[in-house]
Amino acid sequence: MQILSQQIAKLVLVMGLVALVALPCAADKLATCAPDFSRCEIPENVVLDLPFIAFAGDAVLLEPDMVTVSDVFRLFNNFFDSGGGTGLGDVAFLYSSDNSTPLPDPSTYSTNAVFLLESTSGQVTSYNGNGTDYLLGAPEPSTFGLLVAGLVALAGFTRELRGFH
């Protein structure tokens, strides 16, 4: 009984810790990028601050039919607007047809828009823009953080339970 109480208490503590880990992630819109900016994870439907200034514009992801638009990765020109959606900026958003946020109208695509096939494997689609590999459709930072923290906690908790045997 005492052991069970300890287990419940630990579970509560672990869940609290997980919540603490997850909270900052949920509040932080900074994109998860490699320190040298060679790679950035871009979840769907989250306004992201990039930790660098990028060339603005749209990367349009197409279904295998090469016509239907699946997602639009937009880098906004909030720093310098040179027209037609081009310029410089540090805000990004990945619109997805899978979610409630409507895809942008094609008439708003940037003048320098690029078109690429969405990954058919159900994994993230990799788009290399000027040396940065954008992993489009990566899990949201909060979800990802929660998952990692939960798995770590679960592993630790399981190890503890084994010790009680």
Partner 1 sequence: MYNPSLVLKKMPLIAGAVLLGCIPSFGQGVVHLANGTTVKVTVKLNRPIRLGPKQAARSASTADPTGLPFYTANYISLGSKRLPFNILGTDPSLGASTTTIPTVIVPLKFSFPNPGNPTLDGTNVVTATENSPIFLTADYTTGGTDLGVTQFGDAVLRGEFWNHPGFSQSGYHVLLGAPTIAPTVTVTVPAGMGNAFELQGGGLMGVVDNSFFDLVLNALLPSYTANELLIFLTDNVFLAPQGQLQFCCVLGFHDSQGPPIASAQTWIYSAYTKPGTFFENVIVDVQTLSHEISEWLNDPFGGTPFFGGINLVAPYVLPNTGGLCQINFETGDVLENPPVAFTQVTNGTTYHLQDEAFLPYFLHTSPSFSVNGWYSLIGTFQTFSSLCGPG
Q: 155, exposed or middle or buried, with CB in 10 Å at 0-12, 13-18, 19+?
A: exposed
| Phi/psi at 6 (5° precision) | -60, -40
Give the binding range for partner 1 (CB under 8 A) out of 14-22, 80-88, 100-108, 141-149.
Answer: 80-88
Rounded to whole angstroms, the Cα distance separating 134 from 137 reads 9
C-beta neighbour count of 45 within 10 angstroms: 14
* Nearest distance in Å: CB 118, partner 1: 16
Contact flag: residue 31 with partner 1 (CB under 8 A): no
Contact flag: residue 113 with partner 1 (CB under 8 A): yes
Contact flag: residue 103 with partner 1 (CB under 8 A): no
Contact flag: residue 55 with partner 1 (CB under 8 A): yes
DSSP 119: P
* Nearest distance in Å: CB 158, partner 1: 42
Q: Which residues bind partner 1 (CB under 8 A)?
A: 37, 51-59, 73, 75, 78-84, 86-88, 90, 110-114, 127-132, 134
